[in-house]
Amino acid sequence: MIDVLILAAGKGTRMQSSLPKVIQPLSGQPMLSHLLETTQQLNQVNMHVIVGFQADKVMNAFDQQPINWILQEQQLGTGHAVQQALTHCHDDSQVLILYGDVPLVKHQTMVMLLENAKQSGFAMLTVNLDQPYGYGRIVRDHQGQVMSIAEEKDATLRELEITECNTGIMAVSSCLLKKWLPNLSNQNAQKEYYLTDIVAMAVKSGVEIFTSPADPEEVLGVNDRVQLAQLERILQKRRAAALLQAGVTLIDPARIDIRGEVTVGQDVVIDCNVIFEGKVVLGDGVSIAANCVIRNATIGNDVTIEAFSHIDMVIVGDHACIGPYARIRPGTVLSEKTKVGNFVEIKKSTIGAGTKINHLSYIGDAIIESNVNVGAGTITCNYDGKNKHQTVIKDSAFIGSNVSLVAPVEIGKAATVGAGSTITKDVPDEQLALTRSRQINMPWQSVKSKLKCSEEK
């Protein structure tokens, strides 16, 4: 059994924000969510999160998750925070202690730490830094055994030369914590209860402390916007590397943002500055040009998405082509071999196989069947100021340019709507619908003469 304790009570003053630090956005999600997702991959986990500043906001951000929330009303140090949670931990469990503002700890690192803790009941995650400013130093004896942690403000000059640093992340048996934590003291420069003081207690009790090394990038904390931006780049670099390993061609791995989960098939090509949000599935042979935004979408095989297209909560069938500059809004289904061209907006519509909407059109609340041609400048007038209405266009219909289809309306199979028409009534199958004012041609001199007479009057 593993009791995970995540310390998340701090305010984060240097963030200069009204939001608690742990729900600041990182890769499109609250910072804390990354740590929660990683720990949930462990077996037999009980999740405890210790909150303090604006606790209600933190809890509301994760109200659908199975978390035991523990309130730390006064922030009196890391040792004090763990004391608040200890009564919720099982006597025979391992307690994994993490920090909500250190969100990039990897799953394999947690597993390694927990395995080491099984040997004596106590393991710590350490990191070697060329510039260890701000970190507590790991003090070892001549045999290399951990003897204590010297917090920087309390450290001697010799201890400050040590480059092996404490990350604060540790795994300790619950029974040892319950033995040691009541003996913590706040007799130090900060007047706080340091969790790290249990190291000296372990040494005094003869408990060997095992250490696990960490990659410096995964134990970076967030105290301000600069550090938050730094972690954003680290996380995006990880996710780009995962796509490359999955066989995706990234034109520039440094210029892609994955703010969610992307599942890919074979031979996918993604150009620069593409943003993925939510859950996105890409089939085999998908090609995405530069500067596209794709959110919560399923993209079929051999789909081409041209530059500057926005796709949001959409299902796209095989061999479709979208863009450039297309906007496909929630509730839309594009069937196989559809073509949605430049400056086309589609909302809550089903587009049949082989249908083409090549340019400069708005399609909303519509059902368009197979092999329909929609001309440039066509719009479905779906909103009457109070309610939305549906437009239906049957198989093989032809809609000319600059057509307004005033919903509710149905265009029949193989029907034709002439360019410039405003259609307010249903069009039967295989008929031509045409609504235009009568065209008048006259000599230009005659027009000017009439205008002059009008001005004189």
- Number of helices (H), then strands (E), belonging to the chain: the values are 9, 37
**What is the DSSP code (8-state) at residue 438?**
P
Long-range residue pairs from 450-454, CB within 8 A, at least 24 positions apart, any chain: none
In the numeric block, the tokens 């929660």 are attached to 36
312 alpha-carbon distance from chain centroid: 14
Catalytic residue among 90, 319, 359, 389: 359
- How many degrees, rounded to 5, is the angle at CA 384 between CA 380 and CA 390? 45
**What is the DSSP code (8-state) at residue 36?**
H
Is residue 385 within 8 A of residue 362, CB to CB? The reply is: no
Interior/surface letters 229-262, b for 16+ CB within 10 angstroms, e for the rest: eebbeebbeebbeebeeeebebeebebbbbbbeb
**Cα distance between residue 362 and residue 377, in whole Å:** 8
Is residue 373 within 8 A of residue 400, CB to CB? The reply is: no
Please report the DSSP string for 217-280 in residue order: GGG---SSHHHHHHHHHHHHHHHHHHHHHTT-EES-TTSEEEEEEEEE-SS-EE-TTEEEEEEE
Is residue 12 within 8 A of residue 21, CB to CB? The reply is: yes
Please report the DSSP string for 83-118 in residue order: HHHGGGS-TT-EEEEEETT-TT--HHHHHHHHHHHH
- How many degrees, rounded to 5, is the angle at CA 421 between CA 419 and CA 422? 150
120 alpha-carbon distance from chain centroid: 39
Structure-token pair, residue 156: 């001697």
**What is the DSSP code (8-state) at residue 153?**
G
DSSP reduced 3-state for 435: coil
**What is the DSSP code (8-state) at residue 377?**
T
Catalytic residue flag (residue 359): yes
Active site residues: 359
